[in-house]
Chain A
Amino acid sequence: MKIPYFPGCTLKATAKSFEVSGIAVGKELGIEFVEMPRWNCCGTVYSLATDDLMHQLAPVRNLAVVESDMEENRVVSFCSMCYNTLRQANNLVINDPEKLKTINEFMDTEKDYRGGVEPLHLLQVLGEVGTKEMEKRVKKPLTGLKLVPYYGCTLVRPEDVSIDDPRDPSIMEEIMKAMGADIIDIEYKTECCGSYQTITNRDAVVERTRKIIESAREAGGDVIILSCPLCDFNLEDRQREVREKYHGFIEMPVLYFTQLMALAMGLEDKAGFEGNQIDPRPLLEERGLLEG
């Protein structure tokens, strides 16, 4: 399968391991992610916060490029936030032709968007491949590794952009089970990580992170897996501050789910573990999943 791919800014900067591992996993499963020839920021910072149409230009232009320049009707992004932004903008303009007209008129010399592109998240595309196909590619099952899937909000909220059951999503569980891992379900899996509060209200995020990590620990989890660079920053990087504030707090590795898929498929050179703030390698070595 070939599918247009919208990377988003973070996957080109701080979340490179997400992109590299995801692309490698896709290749292994016969999916070619064709990066859009040109793209701009998904528009997340503004477009979620206001109905000001100026701020919908970024996501809508990206969809127009897929529609007109690539002549395709789907586009996938790995980052949950990019997915959410593109999807919400798409829903907005499809449900409100007046707004779409206004946006197209503003873009004037650029190509119109006609509403013919479906934004998808990587998990949905992998879901299409199916767990049977995936199981065939597993070279090193993640046996005994207890994974805690974390969706946060942007994959499942608001309801009309949800990639799965918004209250109890399981798409990540199914994929990781196919990789041979054990799954630990926690109550907080769709709880918000604190998002951009991490800049203005850092302490709230530190507390939130502690709550999520501790509940994962108590449930017997080894590793949190997720698919959003901002969730990753809050849940992974902020653990250092949790540790400084709470003595006795034990850090837990946080990984993009694709990193562990890459490991399971024997593509560990693409897993990018060296880029993680909390090094998962000692744990993976202890479980016999990595050579020391």
Chain B
Amino acid sequence: MSENKEKMITVYIMGKAYEVPFGLTIMKAMEYAGYRFIRGSGCRAGFCGACATVYRNKGEYKFQTALACQATAEDGMYLAQLPFVPANRKEYDIAMINPEKNVLSEYYPEINRCVSCNTCTKSCPQELDVMYYIQAAIRGDYGEVSKLSFDCIQCGLCAARCPAEITHYHVAQLARRIYGKYHLQIPEHLLKRIEDIDAGKFDNEIGKLKKMGMKELKEEYTSRTIEKIQRGEVTQ
């Protein structure tokens, strides 16, 4: 931040006006105004999905969604933080599931109420094709759901905005678990690596690392060589 004359903007946090410096994220702007995040904040780097937020821009009618730790606060914004999305999540035992059936429809029958309005897609801060993965879930296509939802960070904004009360991210998580457990092949190189680990192949190396001090460890880390591997190639 520059020493003299920062540009200040006005934001409305839960309806009340505050002056905050320009250039802060929504989260930082709220903290600057005096709010403290006990919940609704985690990694502060756009990965954990804890900081789902809703806002409206000055002069616009649209209700907007974002991650508070990522979106920049703009002049005239109306802000409010969602500490938690109380979305329905079913309990299941992944080992007891019949992967040949469409269990997504069974556990989450409300997916069939999707009217394809696409509001979920528009609300997604990860820019995923949320509506299309719900459509794939209706058809029981675990692979497609997994592919389309892979970058989901479970912020819950889709569920908060859905007129059909679907809890998209929980549906997708179940689909990915089923797909991972029952439909994807276990990669051979992974099996081999596990064998190596069990056989103690790396015990020596790990033992050395464990004994290093912080400084040594840092040096080791920065001077390490990274093996370049071709796509699909398996390292020895």
Contacts and interface: CB of A to CB of B under 8 A. Distances in A.
B140 A13 contact: yes
Contacts of B165: none
A84 B66 CA distance: 39
Contacts of A68: none
B167 to A, nearest CB: 19
Given A38-B129, A40-B131, A58 B115 contact: yes
Interface residues of A, number: 18
Contact of A40 (B122, B132, B163): B132
Contact of A9 (B117, B129, B132, B138): B138
Given A38-B129, A40-B131, A40-B132, A61 B139 contact: no
Q: Looking at A13, A40, A43, which has the most chain B CB atoms within 10 Å of its CB?
A: A40
Given A38-B132, A40-B131, A57 B138 contact: no
Nearest to B135: A40
B88 interface: no
Given A9-B139, A13-B139, A43 B116 contact: yes
A46 interface: yes
Main secondary structure of the interface of A (DSSP, over half): helix
Contacts of B117: 54, 57, 106
Interface in A1-46: 9, 12-13, 38-41, 43, 46
Given A9-B139, A12-B139, A13-B139, A54 B129 contact: no
Contact of B115 (A9, A38, A46, A109): A46
A41 B118 contact: no
A61 B117 CA distance: 9
Interface in B135-153: 135, 138-141
A250 interface: no
Nearest to A47: B115
Contacts of B135: 9, 39-41
A110 B118 contact: yes
A107 interface: yes
B114 interface: yes
B115 A43 contact: yes
A112 to B, nearest CB: 14
A41 B163 CA distance: 17
B130 to A, nearest CB: 12
B117 to A, nearest CB: 5
A55 interface: yes
B57 to A, nearest CB: 14
Nearest to B102: A13
Contacts of B129: 38
Interface of B: 102, 114-118, 122, 129, 131-132, 135, 138-141, 163
Interface of A: 9, 12-13, 38-41, 43, 46, 54-55, 57-58, 61, 106-107, 109-110
Given A41-B116, A107-B118, 12 more contacts: A9-B135, A9-B139, A12-B139, A40-B132, A41-B135, A41-B138, A46-B115, A54-B117, A54-B163, A57-B116, A106-B117, A110-B118
Closest 4 CB pairs of A and B: A58-B116, A40-B116, A40-B135, A12-B139
20 contacts: A9-B135, A12-B139, A12-B141, A13-B102, A39-B135, A40-B116, A40-B131, A40-B132, A40-B135, A41-B116, A43-B115, A46-B115, A54-B115, A54-B117, A57-B117, A57-B118, A61-B116, A106-B117, A107-B118, A110-B118
